[in-house]
Amino acid sequence: MRDVLRKLEFELAEVILVLLIFVEILDFLTILPPPVEYMEKIIAFAMMGFLFYKASITDITFGHKEKWKDALIVVGFMLLSVKTAIGFSASAAHHASVLSGFYTMLVRNAGLIEMIGFVAGTIILATISAISIKEKITKQCILKTLHEKNAKTYLHKIGRFFLSYLVLLAIYLLIFTFAIEWLAITVDAPILIILLLFYVFVIVKRGKKMTSETFLYKVSNTSEEFYERFISFFHTKKTIMKGITGILVLHMLVEILHFIIPYITSLMYAPYFKQLGPGHEPLAGLISGDLALAGSIISQTGVLIIYLLNVLAILMILFGPAYAWMKDYNKSKTPNISWLFFLCLFTFVTLPVFLITKSSSRKVIGVDIITQQIPVISNVWGVVLASAVIGLIFWILSKLNKTKIAKIAFGIIFLYFGQYLYYFGASVSLSYANNITALFNAGNYVIALHLAIFLVMLYVFYIGGFIFLVHKTFKNAAYASSEQQK
């Protein structure tokens, strides 16, 4: 009987996994019914909370696991994130469904619900901080990294409370918020599709045998293992900056999933891009228009090459910081592709199809990547030939000194990364400033103070993380250069 029950349990788990994967595929194809999409986001929201519970915030912060505290902290984080949940309820409210009344109720009372959730969340985190004042710090954790010792005097206990509270707020703001808004809600479907394609490639190309059960659990567990491993960076002093800079480079990787893949595949989430405004056309439409303008087959071939080089350039610019981050973590040999970067970069600068800019939408905070047709069709072959010459020059130079050319390439990538962070910071700062002013004028001083603290944390995170990543990248490049000369 036990064997039968275990088999039924396993088969039920398989069915649930298949359904979840099927839902994510429909989400990626933008054909998921709004009520199902809403439920999928709620499930993703809850599952991300469960992952943080498993990762143990108490272990990361105080150096020991306490499950009931971990559960309360995750509840506090979720209450602070009520605004995000209401946000995708507002998006779903535009579509008629059996849940329309529920969506309308949430949207109409959004201000009150968000305020109650925020206050309740801060009270929970403050309570955990107060309870943890007397706990001894013996194991490596964030508080020990900050040189916090066991609280003995009254003043030290007060200091411990505020430090613990600020650390919990920072974990919420810099880790939990990004995980919820990006990995669990906005780019979860593209991530799953990439994993599916990867494992299909492993099966087909490498001839590895994999049962259906193994395949399903490989796909479902890979993302979970990534989140847990990433959160583990914050356990020790040696890896905490690795985690901070990792969150920073995730910004650029997420933009690939937010913008570039939808532009390439034409699978664009209409409500999101509609909020962004004009200038977000899929590449297929732009290419079609430019091919019509080009006329001859030779010119049309040039147009296709220009688009290809633009796509490669934007992908390398957005992926570059993450590659630098991974090189610090994995000291493997660097392939010599700097010449390809410079080849594509020249096309990207002279005949850009993509433009990185600050979001002009009042509804969307952050950076926007817009598309456009090739500015001057008559120059396509001139730019293609010039790009080829530049690529050849840098290929020769990289043969003479690969490390120095790679440093120049990373320098340019970090200039784009700095520009990106400036646009992102300016957009976030404006939003926070408006919200802080409105809350202060309305007499909500506690929430206004917390938003001000969040803004300061974000400034320290973006500026400090960027400087550290640049320093670490060029320090590693200098070390590689010295090793090469030995």
> Is the distance from CB of 77 to CB of 46 less than 8 angstroms?
no
Are 135 and 180 contained in the same domain?
yes
Among 102-111, 118-127, 129-138, 333-342, top mean pLDDT goes to: 118-127
Are 258 and 229 contained in the same domain?
no
Are 468 and 355 contained in the same domain?
yes
Are 323 and 200 contained in the same domain?
no
Are 444 and 337 contained in the same domain?
yes
**Once rounded to an integer, what is the mean pLDDT over residues 15-21?**
50
> Is the distance from CB of 373 to CB of 352 less than 8 angstroms?
no
pLDDT tens digits for range 291-324: 988 878 998 999 999 999 999 999 999 999 988 8
Are 233 and 358 contained in the same domain?
no
What does the alpha-carbon distance between residue 350 and residue 474 come to, in Å, rounded to a whole number? 28
**Which of residues 216, 238, 260 is at a domain's end?**
238
**Which of residues 238, 267, 296 is at a domain's end?**
238
pLDDT tens digits for range 317-366: 999 998 888 877 666 566 678 899 999 999 999 999 999 988 877 777 88
Q: How confident is the model at residue 436 (pLDDT cuts 50, 70, 90)?
A: very high
Judge whether residue 120 has pLDDT over 80: yes
Are 43 and 192 contained in the same domain?
yes
**pLDDT score, position 383:** 92
Are 81 and 181 contained in the same domain?
yes
Total count of domains within the chain: 2
pTM of model > 0.85: no
What does the alpha-carbon distance between residue 175 and residue 77 come to, in Å, rounded to a whole number? 11
pLDDT tens digits for range 443-474: 888 899 999 999 999 999 999 989 988 888 88
Cα-trace Rg, the chain: 25
Task: Tally the C-alpha atoms within 13 A of residue 244's C-alpha that lie toward its C-beta.
Answer: 22
Asked whether residue 389 is assigned to any structural domain, the reply reads yes
Structure tokens at 484: 């090469």
Mean pLDDT check: name the lowest of 20-34, 56-70, 244-258.
20-34
pLDDT tens digits for range 409-419: 999 999 999 99
Are 297 and 432 contained in the same domain?
yes
**Which of residues 238, 268, 286 is at a domain's end?**
238
CA neighbor of 263 nearest in space, from 318, 224, 184: 318
Q: How confident is the model at residue 72 (pLDDT cuts 50, 70, 90)?
A: very high
Are 262 and 213 contained in the same domain?
no
Judge whether residue 104 has pLDDT over 60: yes
**Once rounded to an integer, what is the mean pLDDT over residues 150-169?**
82
Q: Which domain holds residue 215?
A: 15-238
Q: At 360, is the secondary structure helix, strand, or coil?
A: coil
Asked whether residue 6 is assigned to any structural domain, the reply reads no
pLDDT tens digits for range 391-411: 999 999 988 888 888 889 999
CA neighbor of 436 nearest in space, from 423, 453, 421: 453
Judge whether residue 484 has pLDDT over 70: no
Q: What is the mean pLDDT of the chain?
A: 78
CA neighbor of 40 nearest in space, from 53, 62, 16, 24: 24
Are 221 and 286 contained in the same domain?
no
Are 148 and 256 contained in the same domain?
no
